A = this chain, B = another copy of it.
């Protein structure tokens, strides 16, 4: 085995024209490529030492690259005993180059789990391209280290096949999206990252200006205003995979910077946008999972979603819908039910099929505590006995006929649990939604790989801020009301529904959009309702209002949360698993140690001084 020189062979540029050729100059094949038909071929492979095994005087290496794993054998007669020993000392995760001959594996030694499992490469040249220090963890190890360590050594963590798979999937899904919209004549337009701060919505990230002392750019929370401008400019169909930023305290599935598929169309209505996205969902499901999705996707209104599921992003992978028993409650002697119903509030419940045996009284007490986290005062429950009667700690407060009526409304069958909240509409929605989701997961009411996509439409235009008593826009202040509700804008804004639509996948909001207001008069009226006076509106959105005066077409659009979308299609539940370099919940990058300190000179150039909070005593 000669000490191989680091040979560089010339590349024929025409080699790059046949598509999907992952070969490259230093190697003749990738580690995922060789098959039985290649036996006898001389090959050069490059990759990482995933595993080493000594066996029968030879060293077996599992050589890994992005494309797969190939078994390499360093043994006699190609290598001397000293060479074999040397190779045995190469640290795991080192990068090597080997040359050798593709050979059949010995009888019975094939590995059906591996695409290259029928062959091995008998090595006759071996070169270490780079050694690896003892790593804090290896990509192949079965148990994952803590997430902090993974993020600090992200270059090791990203070698894990799970991470590679989810980032390749991300790349693929974004490509599917781009191709789909290009086919539909969308123009990809980049909107600025250095924009203007608008004190609307979430907190902006600011960027101090050096040239304009005391002035700041803001990173965009979305390209909303720019895409509306593009419609006014006649672009007709705009799309962008856009980076967006929000300086908020982070929940588990939020990141300070996130990516959305952002689009806008002119001369369309809600149905156009939903129909367009229906097609994208179907194509993505087909290309990613090979699944056929029935179109059009199911649609329900916001009111219906709240009534049946208590939430505007219902998880439709399973049933267990909410039933309203307020009318019966009014008639019972059970004080909690009756007082609630008499006060104009609601008694609503879930039928938990066949769950009576699975939930002990102690477990039901636990569920009672659980719903209290969502504002409920308690959980009333009944068990449907074998004889069809309802048993409950509070059953004595009910007449038999009312128990029958409840059972019949709920469709209760022997073995079921019936669970009820008696409270305001909002609390029954929140509590029952949470309870339903928890029970759905605990009782495994859906397949892990189920994918259920649907639309929720006709959201309210406004929601009341209980503290100030003022109206807030439920989506954003540019959302158009339903044409049929236009007259209610003045008289009963609470009843005014929006031309708004959310895409829901597996109980998560995976996108949302609206048809926008395209005339100045309606826009002014909505601003008025939101308590935004003309001067304030001009100051904040002047350029958009200006644009509406110069020939704005009817238009609307949608934004899809790509991180969430990839997470759902990958069947994952941590958004950081689909982002190459995510931030922690403290908005830190543990690998680069961002954010970091900067020189005073840099701050002086930006006309800034830091005012650090006093250390706590």
**Are A599 and B272 touching (Cβ within 8 A)?**
no
Say if the beta carbon of A606 comes within 8 Å of chain B: yes
Contacts of A51 in B (CB 8 A): none
* Docked CA distance A591–B158 (Å): 42
**Are A159 and B233 touching (Cβ within 8 A)?**
yes
**Are A193 and B219 touching (Cβ within 8 A)?**
yes
**Are B275 and A11 touching (Cβ within 8 A)?**
yes
Q: Would you give the shortest CB distance from A221 to chain B, in whole angstroms?
A: 13
Residue of B nearest to A152 (CB): B543
Q: Given A188-B175, A207-B205, A268-B24, does the pair A183, B19 have CB atoms closer than 8 Å? A: yes
**Are A553 and B185 touching (Cβ within 8 A)?**
no
Contacts of A341 in B (CB 8 A): none
Q: Which of B12, B13, B210, B217 contacts A594 (CB 8 A)?
A: B217
Q: Would you give the shortest CB distance from A397 to chain B, in whole angstroms?
A: 51
Q: Which of B13, B133, B278, B581 contacts A275 (CB 8 A)?
A: B13
Q: Would you give the shortest CB distance from A192 to chain B, in whole angstroms?
A: 5
**Are B267 and A46 touching (Cβ within 8 A)?**
yes
**Are B216 and A589 touching (Cβ within 8 A)?**
no
Contacts of A233 in B (CB 8 A): 154-159
Contacts of A580 in B (CB 8 A): 189-191, 226, 230
Contacts of A230 in B (CB 8 A): 158, 580
**Are A154 and B229 touching (Cβ within 8 A)?**
yes
Residue of B nearest to A547 (CB): B155
Contacts of A159 in B (CB 8 A): 233-234
Residue of B nearest to A591 (CB): B543
Say if the beta carbon of A271 comes within 8 Å of chain B: yes
Say if the beta carbon of A317 comes within 8 Å of chain B: no
Contacts of A596 in B (CB 8 A): 196-197, 215-216
**Are B206 and A550 touching (Cβ within 8 A)?**
no
Contacts of A269 in B (CB 8 A): 8, 11, 25-26
Say if the beta carbon of A359 comes within 8 Å of chain B: no
Q: Which of B133, B243, B245, B256 contacts A549 (CB 8 A)?
A: B133
Residue in A95, A199, A217, A271 whose Cβ sees the most chain B Cβ within 10 Å: A217
User: Which of A163-171, A302-310, A330-338 makes up part of the contact surface?
Assistant: A163-171
* Docked CA distance A420–B95 (Å): 54
Residue of B nearest to A265 (CB): B24
Contacts of A519 in B (CB 8 A): 130
Q: Which of B192, B279, B592 contacts A257 (CB 8 A)?
A: B192
**Are B550 and A195 touching (Cβ within 8 A)?**
no
**Are A65 and B583 touching (Cβ within 8 A)?**
no
Contacts of A581 in B (CB 8 A): 191-192, 226, 229
Contacts of A212 in B (CB 8 A): 586-588, 595
Contacts of A611 in B (CB 8 A): 604, 607-609
How many A residues have CB within 8 A of the partner chain? 153
Q: Given A11-B271, A66-B236, A234-B158, does the pair A206, B207 have CB atoms closer than 8 Å? A: yes
Q: Which of B167, B243, B586, B591 contacts A211 (CB 8 A)?
A: B586
**Are A189 and B208 touching (Cβ within 8 A)?**
no
Q: Given A16-B276, A205-B207, A597-B215, does the pair A130, B552 have CB atoms closer than 8 Å? A: yes
Residue of B nearest to A93 (CB): B551
**Are A21 and B184 touching (Cβ within 8 A)?**
yes
**Are B27 and A267 touching (Cβ within 8 A)?**
yes
Contacts of A171 in B (CB 8 A): 187-189
Q: Would you give the shortest CB distance from A75 to chain B, in whole angstroms?
A: 24
Say if the beta carbon of A48 comes within 8 Å of chain B: yes
Residue of B nearest to A597 (CB): B215
Q: Would you give the shortest CB distance from A540 to chain B, in whole angstroms?
A: 10
Contacts of A211 in B (CB 8 A): 586-587
Q: Which of B188, B226, B229, B592 contacts A174 (CB 8 A)?
A: B188
Say if the beta carbon of A598 comes within 8 Å of chain B: yes
Contacts of A199 in B (CB 8 A): 599, 602
Q: Which of B15, B93, B158, B605 contacts A235 (CB 8 A)?
A: B158
Q: Would you give the shortest CB distance from A414 to chain B, in whole angstroms?
A: 43
Say if the beta carbon of A514 comes within 8 Å of chain B: no
Q: Given A25-B269, A581-B191, does the pair A17, B279 have CB atoms closer than 8 Å? A: yes
Contacts of A131 in B (CB 8 A): 551
* Docked CA distance A583–B131 (Å): 47
Say if the beta carbon of A445 comes within 8 Å of chain B: no
Say if the beta carbon of A178 comes within 8 Å of chain B: yes
Contacts of A183 in B (CB 8 A): 19-20
* Docked CA distance A77–B56 (Å): 99
Q: Which of B67, B154, B184, B203 contacts A16 (CB 8 A)?
A: B184
Residue of B nearest to A186 (CB): B171
**Are B595 and A216 touching (Cβ within 8 A)?**
yes
* Docked CA distance A26–B613 (Å): 57
**Are A194 and B205 touching (Cβ within 8 A)?**
yes
Task: Provide a sorted-by-A list of 19 A–B residue pairs whose CB atoms are within 8 angstroms.
Answer: A11-B272, A13-B275, A20-B184, A66-B235, A94-B551, A154-B229, A155-B547, A193-B219, A205-B207, A207-B595, A208-B208, A212-B587, A216-B598, A225-B592, A243-B243, A542-B593, A604-B611, A607-B611, A608-B610
What are the 4 A-B residue pairs with the smallest beta carbon separation, nearest first? A158-B233, A13-B275, A196-B594, A132-B551
